[in-house]
Amino acid sequence: MLLLALESSCDETAAAVVRDGQHVLSNLIASQVDLHAVYGGVVPELASRRHLEVINPLVEEALSTAGVKQSDLEGVVVTRGPGLVGALLVGVSFAKAYAYALNIPLIGVHHIEGHIQAIQLEEKVEYPFLAVAVSGGHTHLFRVDGIGRYRLLGRTVDDAAGEAFDKVAKMLGLGYPGGPIIDKLASSGDDGGIVFPRPMLKKNNFNFSFSGVKTSVLNYLHRLEEPLDDAQISQISCAFQTAVVDVVTQKAIRAAESEGLSRIVVAGGVACNSGLRKRFAELSALSVLEVFFPSPLLCADNAAMLAVAGDYYLSKGLSSSLDLNAVSNWPLEQVCCK
Ligand code: KG4
Ligand code: ZN
């Protein structure tokens, strides 16, 4: 099945053409980072307006890059939620109009389902596995028994990991989004002996909390004399990243063990983090666990990732009706396909 996939849940407009939920013919992303950077975070109204401006030309470019015509398309898959509702609505409305005009089926997919299943575009990971969904809005652990089959094992009780990265970067006067900047600064591996807490690590559950680490960074900064020099900023970045990586990896491994799972898939924007990738690789080398990371382009928000589940649902005869609405909150466990 030849699908057009569309993603507009936050600050990236993305369009992709994917064959059989497997072969990515094009995967284009129009980033809005520059638009929001001056505000230090995503401004929802600006995001929606920019999506509206770029979605049509982006889709045309995705088709021409893929070397296909509109009439070749057999379905449209779009992020239905969760995300910024105004931003989501642009993609959902466009997808509905497109599917209606071409008389092809439409399917709304969960953004995190897209992230988790993205790995299947690169390597076939057998079910069941543990998914570590780490993004700007999520830090969740799921048992995944197939497409549409997710059981929540644990989640952040406050900030998501990506959100904490972005907020700490802001405190340090770094740019937006902060995750990649902190990652780069932390790559020296020198934390200057600074140790931030590892919240919830001793708790006998699989939940996370990152707001305490963030506050510890803030308290630490209050004790320092301004302005900080580059070495101090790098050390704080490294100590913060190490704390987050420690908690995420240890909790994920415990969750996998308790579920008897030998495969872990790490997904979402924070899965680009080099410290997280390195630590998981080290830990898996010492155990029977296999850990999978999509390549960075498929970790960040993109549209091709949606086609794995979209193709599966459509091939099972499941589709969304033209009254599909965007949803800002949508627990992954509630996706419909069992
Ligand atoms: O999945 P994503 O692209 O969008 C959401 O669904 O939220 O994730 C974006 C988040 C941002 O918070 C960004 O700072 C973070 O992923 N991120 C990173 C890295 N690259 C992106 N965090 C840590 N290290 C990175 N290299
Ligand atoms: Zn995302």
CATH code of 39's domain: 3.30.420.40
Could you tell me which of 116, 110, 111, 112 has the C-alpha nearest to residue 263? 116
Task: Give the percent of the chain with pLDDT over 70.
Answer: 99
pLDDT score for 22: 98
Helix (H) or strand (E) holding 312: helix 306-315
The residue type of 310 is G
Q: Are residues 41 and 7 in the same domain?
A: yes
Do 305 and 288 share a structural domain?
no
Q: How far is CA 98 from CA 83, 283, 288, in A?
A: 21, 46, 46
Question: Does the global pTM surpass 0.95?
Answer: yes
Is the model's pLDDT at 200 over the cut of 60? yes
Residue nearest to atom 13 of ligand 1 (CA): 179
**3-state SS of 97-118?**
HHHHHHCCCEEEEEHHHHHHHH
Query: Same domain for 235 and 273?
Result: yes
Reported confidence tier of residue 202, pLDDT bands at 50, 70, 90: confident
What spacing in Å lies between the alpha carbon of 179 and ligand 1's midpoint?
A: 6
Instruction: Give the total residue count for the chain.
Output: 338
pLDDT at 151 exceeding the cut of 50: yes
- Residue 169 and residue 247 share a domain: yes
219 and 241 together in one domain: yes
Confirm or reject: Cβ of 179 under 6 Å from ligand 1.
Answer: yes
Structural domain including 256 reads 126-293
Does residue 235 share a domain with residue 172?
yes
Strand order in the sheet with 2-7: 23-31, 12-19, 2-7, 75-81, 106-110
| Nearest protein Cα to ligand 1, atom 23 | 179
- Asked whether residue 141 falls in the same domain as residue 278, the answer is yes
* 103 and 43 within one domain: yes
Closest CA to ligand 1's atom 14: 179
Is the domain of 206 the same as that of 112? no
Are the C-beta atoms of 250 and 206 separated by less than 8 Å?
A: no
Site to probe by mutation for ligand 1, drawn from 135, 171, 266, 329 as the one with most ligand atoms within 8 Å of Cβ, is: 135
Name which residue sits closest to atom 22 of ligand 1, judged by CA: 179
pLDDT at 37: 94
Please determine, for residue 336, whether its predicted confidence score (pLDDT) is greater than 90.
no
Residue type, 83: G
Instruction: Report whether residue 180 contacts ligand 1, using a CB cutoff of 6 Å.
Output: yes
Return the structure tokens found at 41.
């975070």
Distance from C-alpha of 219 to C-alpha of 216, rounded to nearest angstrom:
5
For the chain, give the longest Cα–Cα distance.
64
Q: Which 3 state secondary structure label does DSSP give 156?
A: strand
Residue type, 314: L
Give yes or no: residues 112 and 131 share one domain. no
Query: In sequence order, what are the residues at sequence separation of 6 or more whose Cβ sits closer than 8 angstroms to the Cβ of residue 57?
Result: none
Tell me: pLDDT of 160 over 50.
yes
Distance 35 CA to ligand 1 centre (A): 17
Same structural domain for residues 210 and 134? yes
Give the ligand 1 atom nearest the CA of 241.
23
Q: Give the separation between CA 53 and CA 13, rounded to whole angstroms.
A: 10
The pLDDT of residue 226? 86
Q: What are phi and psi of 109, to 5 degrees?
A: -120, 150
Q: What angle do CA 161, 165, 169 make, to 5 degrees?
A: 165
**Is residue 272 in contact with ligand 1, taking CB distance under 6 Å?**
yes
The answer on 163 and 92 residing in a single domain is no
**Phi, psi (degrees; rounded to nearest 5) at 57:** -60, -35
pLDDT of residue 337 exceeding 80, the answer is: no
pLDDT in tens, 32-46: 999 999 999 999 999
Residue 89, ligand 1, Cβ within 6 A: no
Contact 37, 176 (CB under 8 A): yes
User: 172 pLDDT exceeds 50?
Assistant: yes
Give the span between the Cα atoms of 269 and 153, in whole angstroms: 20
Number of domains in the chain: 2
Quick check: CB of 294 below 6 Å from ligand 1? Answer: no
